[in-house]
């Protein structure tokens, strides 16, 4: 395997069983994402996008097939190891990973660092300040999430995703709840982050946003296809 592959999926299947009902949510998905690449995944509701992101984000395991993150097969490792990879290698910009209301902006951004023991406090402080500056949110550092606009909230979420220097950023509809102009500001931020070298997997319904990515995939009925570009 080439070292430039951050992520490889080989024939990944995910089958949900509810009582007697068996549902194939992913039917043999294969995908390679290179270091520094930005890919977008589109597809109708129910096509398996969240299922796919949950598997890549080590929040769930495939029924069969392999998922390699920087060469490590995460489909078979134990829960502790999975949590370690999730905390150290993945930056989430998910709706379900909302900010914690009782923590300030800076405390929310710092939260993922508590899972990584080897980080030095001074380095973390400096890094937090740099990231907040980069995202234009330094002035919001002591605010609570309830006092932030939608766009500000999403910037804080992005800052939190970047704090651990993840190998891979996973974003699920990051502009889904924003008005058009705030949405395009966030889309532009993604472009900046990508230009700074981050590897991004973005799920979005917004075609214009998806077109900023280098490659667009479409999921339909659990099957992933490239959209010719
Ligand atoms: P999308 O994100 O594209 O809307 P999902 O990955 O959420 O699609 O869902 C794909 C399909 O799998 C849907 O038909 C959904 O009902 C089903 N599904 C998702 N999660 C579960 C689950 N935990 N148990 C059973 N079925 C599920």
Nearest to 8 by CA among 67, 91, 82, 85: 67
Q: Which atom of ligand 1 approaches the CA of 17 most closely?
A: 25
Ligand 1 centroid to residue 171 C-alpha, Å: 17
Ligand 1, atom 14, lies closest to the CA of 46
Q: How many CB atoms lie within 10 A of CB 228?
A: 5
Range of weakest confidence among 71-80, 89-98, 204-213: 89-98
Nearest to 199 by CA among 33, 26, 71, 69: 33
For residue 1, pLDDT beyond 80? no
Ligand 1 centroid to residue 221 C-alpha, Å: 10
* Spatial distance between the Cα atoms of 112 and 107, rounded to a whole number of angstroms: 10
Ligand 1 centroid to residue 25 C-alpha, Å: 6
Q: Which atom of ligand 1 approaches the CA of 51 most closely?
A: 6
Q: What is the pTM of this model?
A: 0.92
The residue-averaged pLDDT of 29-41 equals 97
Ligand 1 centroid to residue 77 C-alpha, Å: 23
Q: Are strands 215-220 and 5-18 parallel, antiparallel or unpaired?
A: unpaired
- Domain residue spans in the chain? 38-61+77-224
CATH of 38-61+77-224, one of 3.40.50.300, 3.30.2130.10, 3.90.190.20, 3.20.20.80: 3.40.50.300
Ligand 1, atom 17, lies closest to the CA of 25
Residue 62 DSSP code: -
For residue 36, pLDDT beyond 70? yes
pLDDT at 115: 72
């Amino acid at each position: 395997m080439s070292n430039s592959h951050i992520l490889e999926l080989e024939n990944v299947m995910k089958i949900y069983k509810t009582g007697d009902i068996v549902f194939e949510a992913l039917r043999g998905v294969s995908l390679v994402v290179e270091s520094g690449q930005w890919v977008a995944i589109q597809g109708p509701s129910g096509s398996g996008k969240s299922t796919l992101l949950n598997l890549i984000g080590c929040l769930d395991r495939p029924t069969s097939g392999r998922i390699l993150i920087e060469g490590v097969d995460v489909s078979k490792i134990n829960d502790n190891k999975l949590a370690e990879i999730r905390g150290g290698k993945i930056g989430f910009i998910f709706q379900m990973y909302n900010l914690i209301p009782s923590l300030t902006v800076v405390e929310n951004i710092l939260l993922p660092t508590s899972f990584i023991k080897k980080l030095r406090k001074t380095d973390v402080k400096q890094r937090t300040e740099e990231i907040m500056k980069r995202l234009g949110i330094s002035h919001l550092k002591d605010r609570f999430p309830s006092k932030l606009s939608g766009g500000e909230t999403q910037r804080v979420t992005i800052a939190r995703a970047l704090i651990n220097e993840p190998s891979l950023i996973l974003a699920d509809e990051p502009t889904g709840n924003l008005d058009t102009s705030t949405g395009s500001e966030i889309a532009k931020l993604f472009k900046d982050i990508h230009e700074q070298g981050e590897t991004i997997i973005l799920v979005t319904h917004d075609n214009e946003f998806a077109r900023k990515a280098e490659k667009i995939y479409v999921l339909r009925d659990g099957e992933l296809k490239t959209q010719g570009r």
